């Protein structure tokens, strides 16, 4: 497994504005993606995800603002940045009359590989993506899933240290999606910084470290993934018998749902707070038989962000 990137880049978007005729696609978008992370770029259809990825890759020029990759400007240092980026866009194309091997050789040559490097790069990526049995097949006869694998291989052929993936799991079967998740984790462990746009939130949760949510061209949240990062958490309490006196609860613990033998509370995150709450409940005679913090998954985080944005 190669090490991806010598100096691992962070990615900075500074006040990006991008217009299509009659429509603003990006509106003062700013964020910083930490180096050696995997960021889920999520949002509804038409939110600006693909436009944002194209600006990060230097394929679109924003009306104003700038993108920095490892301190280099995408607009001012295009060649230096381009050599570090691997980009799989959502409508990539293949040369249908070329074999898979020839497609990869062409991609390597386009990235400046000499004859020796070309063979090394192709052999490496073929093993990583699992294309050994398809090398002599023409791209035009491949299924949607195998075409997707070749597209991913082309994006990674030069061992980029910033990887932009737009709907990478599209067309992949369950086995290939599991392999993709494992590949992304390996790339990140090897030093890559990765941004993945996808509508399959449950799969993003298996390998992403951060979530960047965009709606109507505006960033509405950018947060780490992981229950320990939440300011609020939910706790599920199961009861041995019905109980209706909740005077022992402080103002910091709010009832979200109350059923006959269970109670769901929203409260500030932290083990000390959980310990105090449980002690207060037992001291007040509440018949607690289980006390379980509930981790917020990526779908819940996404819906929370969208709802908060609607309420602004």
Domain final position from 171, 194, 226: 226
Contacts of 196 (CB under 8 A, 6+ apart): 38, 39, 40, 41, 165, 168, 184, 204, 208
Is 236 found in the same domain as 107?
A: no
Give DSSP secondary structure letters for 228-253: GG-SEEEEEEEESS-----TT--TTS
Are residues 186 and 161 part of one domain?
yes
- Together in a domain, 106 and 177: yes
Between 230 and 177, name the one with better pLDDT. Answer: 177
How far is 53 from 57, CA to CA, in rounded Å?
6
Q: What is the mean pLDDT of residues 141-163?
A: 95
Give the rounded distance of the alpha carbon of 63 from its chain centre: 26
Query: Total domain count for the chain?
Result: 2
Instruction: Kindly state whether residue 176 falls inside one of the protein's structural domains.
Output: yes
Rounded Cα distance between 221 and 212, Å, is 6
Confirm whether 177 is domain-assigned.
yes
Q: Which of 208, 226, 244 is the last residue of a domain?
A: 226
Task: Assess whether 156 and 288 both reside in one domain.
Answer: no
Rounded percentage of the chain residues whose pLDDT exceeds 90: 68
Residue 229 has pLDDT above 60, yes or no: no
Residue 9 has pLDDT above 90, yes or no: no
Arithmetic mean of pLDDT, 178-191: 92
137 domain-assigned: yes
Other beta carbons within 10 Å of 118: 19
**Would strands 11-20 and 288-294 be described as parallel, antiparallel, or unpaired?**
unpaired
Q: Give yes or no: residues 86 and 115 share one domain.
A: yes
What whole-number distance in Å separates Cα of residue 55 and Cα of residue 42?
16
Close Cβ partners of 49 (under 8 Å, ≥ 6 residues apart): 41, 42, 43, 166, 197, 214
Unique residue bearing structure tokens 């707070």: 273
Please indicate, yes or no, if residue 96 is contained in any of the structural domains: yes
Q: Is the distance from CB of 57 to CB of 87 less than 8 angstroms?
A: yes
β-pairing verdict for 254-259 and 262-268 = antiparallel
What does the pLDDT average to over 242-265?
88
Average pLDDT, rounded, for the chain: 90
- Structural domain includes residue 6: no
Tell me whether residue 305 is in a domain.
no
Determine, yes or no, domain membership for 4: no
My answer on whether 217 and 281 are in the same domain is no
pTM, full prediction = 0.80
Count of alpha carbons within 13 Å of 24, Cβ hemisphere only?
12
- Single residue among 171, 203, 226 that ends a domain in this structure: 226
- Quick one: average pLDDT of 81-91? 90
Instruction: Say which range, 31-40, 71-80, 154-163, 215-224, has the weakest mean pLDDT.
Output: 71-80
Q: What is the pLDDT of residues 130-139, one digit of tens each?
A: 999 999 999 9
262 and 139, same structural domain? Answer: no
Residues 37 and 79 in one domain: yes
Please report, for the domain that includes residue 174, its CATH number.
Answer: 3.40.50.300
- Can you give the CATH number for the domain in which 278 is found? 3.30.70
Distances (CA, A) of 211 to 38, 40, 130, 233: 9, 5, 28, 18
Is 113 a residue whose pLDDT tops 50? yes
Output 16 or 276, whichever has higher pLDDT.
Answer: 16
Q: How confident is the model at residue 8 (pLDDT cuts 50, 70, 90)?
A: low
Higher-confidence position of 44 and 304: 44
Tens-place pLDDT, residues 271-307? 888 898 899 999 999 999 999 988 777 887 888 788 7
Question: In angstroms, rounded to a whole number, what is the distance separating the alpha carbons of residues 150 and 131?
Answer: 8
Asked whether residue 88 is assigned to any structural domain, the reply reads: yes
**Rounded mean pLDDT, 190-209:** 91
Same domain, 239 and 212: no
Q: Tell me: do 285 and 220 sit in the same domain.
A: no
166 and 74 both lie in a single domain: yes
pLDDT of residue 301: 81
170 in the same domain as 25: yes
Q: Which domain holds residue 261?
A: 228-295
DSSP-based three-state secondary structure for 140: helix
């Amino acid at each position: 497994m190669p090490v991806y990137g010598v100096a691992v880049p962070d990615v900075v978007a500074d006040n990006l504005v991008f217009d299509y005729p009659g429509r603003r696609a990006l509106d003062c978008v700013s964020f910083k993606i930490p180096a050696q992370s995997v960021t889920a770029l999520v949002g509804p259809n038409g939110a600006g995800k693909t436009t944002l990825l194209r600006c990060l890759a230097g394929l679109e020029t924003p009306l104003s603002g700038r993108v920095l990759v490892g301190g280099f400007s995408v607009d001012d240092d295009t060649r230096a940045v381009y050599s570090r980026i691997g980009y799989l866009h959502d409508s990539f194309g293949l040369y249908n009359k070329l074999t898979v091997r020839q497609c990869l050789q062409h991609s390597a040559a386009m990235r400046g590989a000499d004859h020796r490097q070309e063979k090394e790069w192709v052999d490496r990526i073929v093993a990583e993506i699992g294309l050994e049995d398809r090398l002599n097949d023409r791209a035009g006869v491949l299924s949607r899933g195998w075409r997707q694998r070749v597209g991913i291989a082309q994006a990674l052929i030069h061992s980029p240290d910033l990887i932009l993936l737009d709907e990478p799991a599209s067309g992949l079967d369950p086995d290939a999606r599991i392999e993709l998740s494992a590949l992304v984790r390996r790339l990140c462990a090897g030093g890559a910084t990765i941004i993945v746009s996808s509508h399959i939130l449950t799969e993003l949760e298996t390998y992403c470290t951060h979530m960047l949510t965009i709606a109507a061209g505006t960033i509405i949240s950018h947060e780490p993934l992981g229950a320990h990062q939440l300011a609020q958490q939910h706790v599920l309490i199961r009861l041995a018998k019905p109980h209706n006196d909740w005077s022992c609860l402080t103002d910091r613990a709010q009832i979200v749902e109350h059923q006959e033998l269970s109670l769901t509370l929203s409260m500030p995150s932290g083990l000390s707070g959980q310990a105090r709450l449980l002690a207060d409940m037992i001291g007040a005679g509440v018949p607690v038989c289980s006390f379980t913090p509930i981790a917020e998954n990526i779908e819940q985080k996404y819906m929370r962000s969208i709802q908060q944005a609607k309420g602004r």
